[in-house]
Structure 1
Amino acid sequence: MRGAEFAELMAFMAIAEERSFRAAAQRLNMSPSALSHSMRSLEERLGARLLHRTTRSVAPTEAGQALLDRLGPPIAEVSDAVRDVRAFQQQPRGLVRINMPRAAAQLIVMPKLAQFRADFPEIRLELVIDDSITDVIAKGFDFGIRSGAIVQQDMISVPLTPDLRMAVVASPSYFAQRPVPHTPAELNGHACLTYRWYETGALHPWRFDGPDGPFEVMVDSVMTANDTSLLLDAALRGCGVALLVESLVEPHLRQGSLQRVLDEWCKPFPGFHLYYPSRRHMPAAMRALIESLKLS
């Protein structure tokens, strides 16, 4: 159905319900003459008279009443659907889908989850853990969370944390049996626990910063995983050396269950950012999430 045909049907419904061309014109915010023209066009297109008209009154014909009865329920459904869409724009409710690495979930989202649920009980969250570099928008997510260093420039990006650092860690029991490395080159021969991207099969490089700038070190992997929590668990159990986000291992460093090395070789890099493609017509639920998570 073309837009003009739908407009004619809406004009007919307004006239039939108001029983007045003038009142219907006011309801539709159009002139009585334009409304009369629209009504004539509809009757000509259908080949049927839909309204009885006199100088004093307007009433549906038998055909008009039958059409009005059939149009009522679907038009009400359309009106309800439009109101629901507007409600999503105005009231924080509905589903919000977020794709993020495990470290971001543990450091950013989970600590604020209880308060967010209390503030916005009608918002449902779908949290998908994905440590790989994924086109999250193409996969139907509302938001992605990644380091600001890898967020594409055409995305709107909201800082969630200060700059981050990586930390090279192992358990004290591991270093009780192995020499502590003082330079990245001395990682050679150590049992390293490394991250491997599932989709590409590539190993996450161990990057460091020295006097001559950034560089990478090839390490001997005794275990690879595509989940940082597994690497952390393996390091805590004395299985080897891991390169993990500093904030993720800080509690274990304070407790003494992990020991940090090569601290001076690990320089800051851009922290976690929430990103999405556009601010235009953003639902209230998405706005609420941004305000709840963004760096204050």
Structure 2
Amino acid sequence: GLSAPALSQSVRALEERLGVQLFRRTTRSVTPTDAGLRLAERVGPLLAEVVAAEKEAAGEAGSVRGVVRLNVPRVAAMRWLAPWIGRFAREYPDAALDVTVDDALRDIVAGRFDVGIRLGEHLAPGMVAIPLQGKLTLAAVGSPAYFAAHGEPQVPADLARHRCIGFRLPTHGNLVRWQFERRGRLVDVATTSAVVVDDTELAIRAAAAGAGIAYMPRDEVTADLEAGRLRSVLEPWCRTLPGMHLYYARHRHASPALRAFLAMVRADLKGRRRAP
């Protein structure tokens, strides 16, 4: 893209900086010197790599390329991400998804992830968030056999005399606090954990087996409630929280692969909202 005079001036400046002559110039021709040929042999492949990298970074290599790194909890991976993985692979065969399934509350920027999925109340400030669902209601659940043996709690304070299934956050090892709410009043409950787990599915199975009462999103135990394996208690007190959100840091220059993934997610969610 340089004019002949500009190119000639650049070459002369390079010769002055290196202290060697790179071209022999006559009124009829310009030919490279031995030093010029050696420099071209060394620098030529590097320049080709730089040009190719620039084209790829700008999305000019003929297709969407690159890797999108995601950090998502297990329940979100199964419910939302699994269908997107297949669609993304079909639509963008030259791009890739690198998925870490993790229930810890990770800092996706510090962890060098492009995208995360978390409950709305756990989103870090300044993130761009895409709602995946509406409000999420919690449920306190136990097996019919457990309640037959120990009775049902009528108010959150009754949980002090019940066996509860605690959930340990992998991030820092603390147990999740059990909070209830009624008429705008938030109630923290100190529970006695008969079992402590760091996996939602294991907590559900432990509750169904009669180990105690678990407290988790209601949509994760809907099938067990409908099948009669679990029974819900304290329903007027169970909190409603912002649902799951996909989120990412605001990038000035997002990669083509990340832009393509986000566009696909938005299109999929828009289609779901339109579906009867």
Residues 1:217 and 2:174 aligned together: no
Residues 1:263 and 2:243 aligned together: no
Deviations 1:4-33 (A, max 9, x none): xxxxxxxxxxxxxxxxxxxxxxx32x4x43
CA distance in 2, matches of 1:80, 1:281: 18
Q: What is the aligned partner in structure 2 of residue 147 from structure 1? A: 119
Letter of the 2:81 counterpart: V
Give the 3 Å change call, closer, same or farther, for CA 161–84 of structure 1 in structure 2: same
Give the 3 Å change call, closer, same or farther, for CA 265–90 of structure 1 in structure 2: farther
Deviations 1:69-106 (A, max 9, x none): 22222222222222232338984333222112222223
- 5+ residue gaps, structure 1, are 1-26
Q: Secondary structure at the match of 2:221?
A: helix
8 Å CA contact 1:108–1:293 kept in 2: the answer is no
Q: What is the aligned partner in structure 2 of residue 192 from structure 1? A: 164
CA distance in 2, matches of 1:67, 1:122: 35
Larger radius of gyration: 1
CA distance in 1, matches of 2:250, 2:134: 23
Q: Offset at 1:242?
A: 0.5
CA distance in 1, matches of 2:39, 2:83: 57
Letter of the 1:123 counterpart: A
8 Å CA contact 1:235–1:241 kept in 2: the answer is yes
Residues matched between the structures, number: 268
Q: Secondary structure at the match of 1:177?
A: helix
Within a 5 Å distance, the mapping from 1:53-72 to structure 2 comes to 53-72=25-44
Within a 5 Å distance, the mapping from 1:135-174 to structure 2 comes to 135-174=107-146
Q: Offset at 1:212?
A: 5.0
Q: Offset at 1:268?
A: 1.9
Letter of the 1:238 counterpart: G
CA distance in 2, matches of 1:41, 1:123: 41
Residues 1:232 and 2:236 aligned together: no
Deviations 1:153-205 (A, max 9, x none): 22222212211111111122222322122221222221110111234332101
Q: What is the aligned-residue identity percentage? A: 40
CA distance in 2, matches of 1:284, 1:254: 44
CA distance in 1, matches of 2:20, 2:244: 65
Letter of the 2:39 counterpart: L
RMSD: 2.3
Q: What is the aligned partner in structure 2 of residue 4 from structure 1? A: none
8 Å CA contact 2:128–2:249 kept in 1: the answer is yes
CA distance in 1, matches of 2:238, 2:153: 14
Residues 1:94 and 2:66 aligned together: yes
Residues 1:128 and 2:103 aligned together: no
Structure (1 or 2) with the greater strand fraction: 2
Say which of 224, 227, 232 aligns to 1:252: 224
Letter of the 1:54 counterpart: T
CA distance in 2, matches of 1:55, 1:69: 26
8 Å CA contact 1:91–1:284 kept in 2: the answer is no
Letter of the 1:170 counterpart: G
TM-score, normalised relative to structure 2: 0.87
Q: Secondary structure at the match of 2:5?
A: helix
Larger mean Cα displacement after TM superposition, 162-171 or 46-55 = 46-55
Q: What is the aligned partner in structure 1 of residue 249 from structure 2? A: 277
Give the 3 Å change call, closer, same or farther, for CA 113–43 of structure 1 in structure 2: closer
Q: Secondary structure at the match of 2:140?
A: strand
Give the 3 Å change call, closer, same or farther, for CA 77–111 of structure 1 in structure 2: closer
